[in-house]
């Protein structure tokens, strides 16, 4: 059993946070498009960002801010324009955004972090942003997480939110998160934004290490289409308002906090993968028997990212050969005669040898997932064993449907 419980509240569930989401006129659709998360006190800040060589101005800005000072009080996110590949003017827009929100909140601009999402090559609509900043500040609320979650999405069909609570010492500690993403999703990272809040007291170095490991086991283990983005950002704040003893070195309390942080990130990551553009189900791949966790995750990510595997799942075709082929090209050595593959409860390959199985029943299992309850009965489980090692890793993806092409063929038109 997990050493925590699910609670309501998203990023405002931890003590000392407010959030807001408004319509500022950034999106042509007229839907909410400006979000703000605010800590009542200075919070330890950590971040993990896209590895793309083409980075949005907000990514460069946040990296520089966190290198200079690993703390923050505010995260401002605009949706509609990515402000990526917009040259020097795009970076100047980012600086102006940070100064404007800092002035409105009466804090230092050094305590502001930024994120953007939308169409690459488009600058932020600064007139709309300028007029929207006073409104989003005025809308800040201790119950504003849902509004913020709704204001950061683009092609998402649903918002993504989670909050968990555990006990550290004799006091509750909470972690909440919101995220967006449904396309351009692939490890390292993808068109995804995730914001996490925590009320524990934790050292900056430890918080950054925890977040990096949690990212590897969550957002860097999902894939929708093999494309990564220019704007990927995972930002986490820890403001210490739980008044629990400071966690400054690795130990039982740090391990518990990281486990809960990872659980929050994994929930958000799975929600992103399930919401993949045109998807009808979530795919979870678990690999066991590898030399180490990294090797297991590499195999799992290759299988989850295979277009042929994803297409077979959409077609409700229990074609285990595509799973075997993907595992074999993952770049991780293993003995073919040790390979085992299961689809749900259907054992299809054992010791490298094909087995007889009920194909109609296996196909029905895939069909059932496509109509299952969201993040409950809508998951296709693929289990792969490659040997006798201790390495275990998971990855998540979704099926590849006709609608994915439709959505992305018309993205800017």
Helix-helix angle 87-105:126-138, to 10 degrees: 20
What is the rounded CA–CA span in Å between residue 380 and residue 317? Answer: 12
Q: What are phi and psi of 113, to 5 degrees?
A: -115, 150
CA-nearest of 12, 237, 18 to 136 is 18
Q: Is 223 helix (H, G, I), strand (E, B) or coil?
A: coil
Q: What are phi and psi of 21, to 5 degrees?
A: -145, 130
What is the rounded CA–CA span in Å between residue 347 and residue 339? Answer: 12
The one-character DSSP state at 247 is B
> What is the 3-state composition of the chain as percent helix, strand, coil, each rounded to the nearest 5?
35, 30, 35
pLDDT tens track for 220-252: 888 765 555 678 899 999 999 999 999 999 999
- Active site residues per annotation: 191
Residue 257 has what pLDDT?
96
**Model confidence at 405, in pLDDT bands (50, 70, 90)?**
confident
- Indicate the helix (H) or strand (E) that contains 339: none
The tokens for 342 are: 């299961």
Say if CB 81 and CB 123 are below 8 A apart.
yes
pLDDT tens track for 287-325: 999 999 999 999 999 999 999 999 999 999 999 999 999
pLDDT tens track for 353-370: 999 999 999 999 999 998
Residue 189 reports pLDDT greater than 50? no
- State how beta strands 34-49 and 233-238 pair: antiparallel
Residue 102 reports pLDDT greater than 80? yes
The tokens for 232 are: 């990927």
């Amino acid at each position: 059993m997990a050493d925590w419980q699910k609670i309501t509240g998203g990023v405002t569930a931890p003590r000392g946070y407010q959030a807001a989401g408004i319509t500022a006129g950034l999106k042509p659709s007229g839907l909410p498009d400006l979000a703000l998360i605010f800590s009542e006190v200075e919070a330890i800040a950590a971040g993990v960002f896209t590895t793309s060589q083409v980075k949005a101005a907000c990514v460069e800005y946040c990296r520089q801010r966190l290198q200079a000072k690993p703390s923050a009080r505010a995260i401002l996110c605009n949706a509609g324009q990515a402000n990526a590949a917009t040259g020097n003017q795009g970076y100047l827009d980012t600086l102006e955004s940070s100064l404007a929100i800092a002035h409105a909140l009466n804090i230092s601009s050094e305590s502001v972090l930024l994120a953007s999402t939308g169409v690459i090559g488009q600058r932020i609509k600064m007139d709309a942003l300028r007029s929207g900043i006073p409104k989003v500040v005025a809308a800040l609320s201790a119950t504003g997480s849902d509004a913020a979650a709704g204001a950061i999405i683009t092609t998402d069909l649903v918002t993504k939110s989670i909050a968990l609570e555990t006990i550290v010492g004799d006091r509750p500690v909470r972690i909440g998160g919101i995220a967006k993403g449904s396309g351009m999703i692939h490890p390292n990272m993808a068109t995804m934004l995730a914001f996490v809040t925590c009320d524990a007291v934790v050292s900056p170095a430890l918080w950054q290490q925890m977040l990096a490991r949690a990212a590897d086991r969550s957002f860097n283990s999902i894939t929708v289409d093999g494309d990564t983005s220019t704007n990927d950002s995972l930002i986490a704040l820890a403001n210490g308002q739980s008044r629990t003893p400071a966690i400054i070195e690795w130990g039982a309390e740090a391990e518990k906090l990281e486990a809960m942080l990872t659980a929050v990130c994994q929930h958000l990551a799975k929600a992103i993968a399930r919401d993949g553009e045109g998807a009808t189900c979530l795919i979870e791949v678990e690999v066991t028997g590898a030399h180490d966790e990294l090797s297991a995750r590499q195999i799992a990510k290759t299988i989850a990212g295979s277009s042929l595997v994803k297409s077979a799942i959409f077609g409700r075709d229990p074609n285990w050969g595509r799973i075997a082929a993907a595992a074999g090209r993952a770049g991780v050595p293993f003995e073919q005669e040790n390979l085992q593959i299961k689809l749900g409860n259907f054992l299809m390959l054992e010791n490298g040898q094909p087995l007889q199985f009920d194909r109609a029943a296996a196909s029905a299992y895939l069909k059932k997932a496509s109509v299952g309850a969201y993040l409950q009965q809508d998951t296709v489980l693929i289990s792969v064993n490659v040997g006798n090692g201790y390495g275990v890793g998971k990855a998540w993806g979704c099926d590849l449907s006709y609608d994915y092409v439709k959505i992305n063929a018309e993205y800017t038109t």
